Amino acid sequence: MHPVELHCWHFMSYPYLPDDFDEKYDTGWVTVPNKLWDREKTDGLYQEYIDQLVYGEELGFDGLVLNEHHQNIYGLMPSPNIIAAALTQRTSKAKIVVLGNLLPLHQNPLRVAEEYAMIDSITGGRLVAGFAVGGGPEAYNYQVSSPKARRQFWEGVDLIVRAWTEEGPFEHEGHHYPLRYANIWPKPRQTPHPPVWIPGALSVETTHEVAKRGFDYFLSSRTHGSATRMAREQFATVLTEHGDRYHPFRFGVLISVYVAETDEQARAESQEGIWYFLKNCLKGHLRKTGRTLTFGAGVPSQSVKSWESYLKHSTPGAEMLGDANTWEELDSKASIIVGSPATVLQKFWDLIEEAQIGRFLIQFHFGNMKPELARKSMKLFAEQVAPTLRKDSAELFARQYPQLEERAELGAGE
């Protein structure tokens, strides 16, 4: 049986911004002044965030998800591999899912191949290896030329997989990363290599590259509901074009959740953290107010053709997730699920049925949310939502995807 995978995602956001942050600053990214970092209040902050992830394993989550961000208040993990290393010493069962290392920001992708191999070796094969290109803020943070970044990225991914799987030393006659001696020590524990997940935000080009290599895809765009179904359908079509077949464990979504005893209580408890997250952390990313750096002519990573399609299908100044001003608006965006166990269960189930998703990457902590609230929400989810979701999804997937039963292990290269 293959129940839905439930992973615990953390951004590790900066929780000590002044109350007038939104008024005073036009972005939480790249140029947000680091005088706002409080050296004393942040004592123990990383420890708390790591402890929350460790608690995720105790509660039975399948994986603990880390991510890489730089020079911003949204996510304080410039090096997710350092947090992953800490988790190797505190956990024993959960997958350590690094989504992902931003390859164009690294001088040499072999370093990533090596660090991932170390994590995989130390954990006896618990690594899920994610790779991402990075978006607008990353281009500015590390001076990455966007039109070149994707080609550079895929060369880096292929070099890493080759370094994990082929006998070394070999020469890599690459365009961006030419190397005379590729010969990594250690090798990863998993064979042929750790599962590879690649995030995307509906770019057709990315789904083709993922499908071509037999990797798994995860949707980072935070659009849910029918948009998720459409993304899954698009990915499934692309898989078919590459002679492959869709099943729910090829696809994951990032989703944000707060669970409490009742709907009212969930809303009351999560308000402060969620608004902090929307108004501060998403400023410069998914908010029209201020300066959104995520995409645009200044970071022209998309082909001219994709940009044309974007222009034709979008409205300038359209509202994004962080622009919601009321709970009703937020609810309608279906990106953050807040409610009692029954409410949350129903919304997850709707998404599973509609979009046939096998992997949920769940954000439980928002902005400046009190740690005890995030933990309570995780616990309620684990105890009152997860069991039913697992049982019912396993039955659903067994009926709809009988081919799954023939596979012992799901992952890269299948």
Residues that bind other proteins (CB under 8 A): 26, 136, 139-140, 143-148, 151, 288-293, 296-300, 304, 307-308, 311-312, 315-318
Kindly give, in sequence order, each residue whose CB lies less than 8 Å from that of residue 81, ignoring residues fewer than 6 positions away: 98, 101, 115, 116, 119
CA distance between the termini of the chain: 17
Comparing CB distances to other proteins, the nearer of 318 and 408 is 318
Q: How far apart are CA 32 and CA 89, in angstroms?
A: 33
* Closest approach of other proteins to the CB of residue 4, in Å: 36
Beta partners for residue 219, in sequence order:
200, 253
Comparing CB distances to other proteins, the nearer of 8 and 149 is 149
Comparing CB distances to other proteins, the nearer of 145 and 226 is 145
Place of tokens 């991932």: 116
Comparing CB distances to other proteins, the nearer of 267 and 291 is 291
* Closest approach of other proteins to the CB of residue 322, in Å: 11
| Contact yes or no for 184/223 (Cβ under 8 A) | no
Comparing CB distances to other proteins, the nearer of 125 and 290 is 290
* Closest approach of other proteins to the CB of residue 221, in Å: 17
How many other CB atoms are there within 10 angstroms of residue 264's CB atom? 11
Comparing CB distances to other proteins, the nearer of 140 and 197 is 140
Kindly give, in sequence order, each residue whose CB lies less than 8 Å from that of residue 272, ignoring residues fewer than 6 positions away: 368, 369
Cis ω for the linkage preceding 169 (within 30 of 0): yes
* Closest approach of other proteins to the CB of residue 75, in Å: 20
Place of tokens 């954000």: 363
Comparing CB distances to other proteins, the nearer of 294 and 388 is 294
Q: How far apart are CA 396 and CA 414, in angstroms?
A: 21
* Closest approach of other proteins to the CB of residue 302, in Å: 9
* Closest approach of other proteins to the CB of residue 242, in Å: 22
CA distances from 381 to 16, 50, 102 (A): 27, 19, 31
* Closest approach of other proteins to the CB of residue 18, in Å: 21
* Closest approach of other proteins to the CB of residue 317, in Å: 4
Q: How far apart are CA 271 and CA 287, in angstroms?
A: 18
Cis ω for the linkage preceding 300 (within 30 of 0): no
Comparing CB distances to other proteins, the nearer of 287 and 347 is 287
Spell out a b/e string for 127-161, using b for 16 or more CB atoms within 10 Å of the CB, else e: bbbbbbbbbbbbbbbeebebeebbebbbbbbbbbb
Q: How far apart are CA 216 and CA 248, in angstroms?
A: 10
Residue 200 tokens read as: 């995307």
* Closest approach of other proteins to the CB of residue 306, in Å: 10
Q: Compute the half-sphere exposure of residue 148: CA atoms within 13 Å on the CB side of its CA.
A: 10
Q: How far apart are CA 48 and CA 13, in angstroms?
A: 12
* Closest approach of other proteins to the CB of residue 292, in Å: 6
Comparing CB distances to other proteins, the nearer of 284 and 411 is 284
Residue 93 tokens read as: 């069962």
Residue 203 tokens read as: 């770019």
* Closest approach of other proteins to the CB of residue 1, in Å: 46
Comparing CB distances to other proteins, the nearer of 123 and 146 is 146
Comparing CB distances to other proteins, the nearer of 27 and 88 is 27
CA-closest candidate to residue 181, choices 194, 167, 168:
168
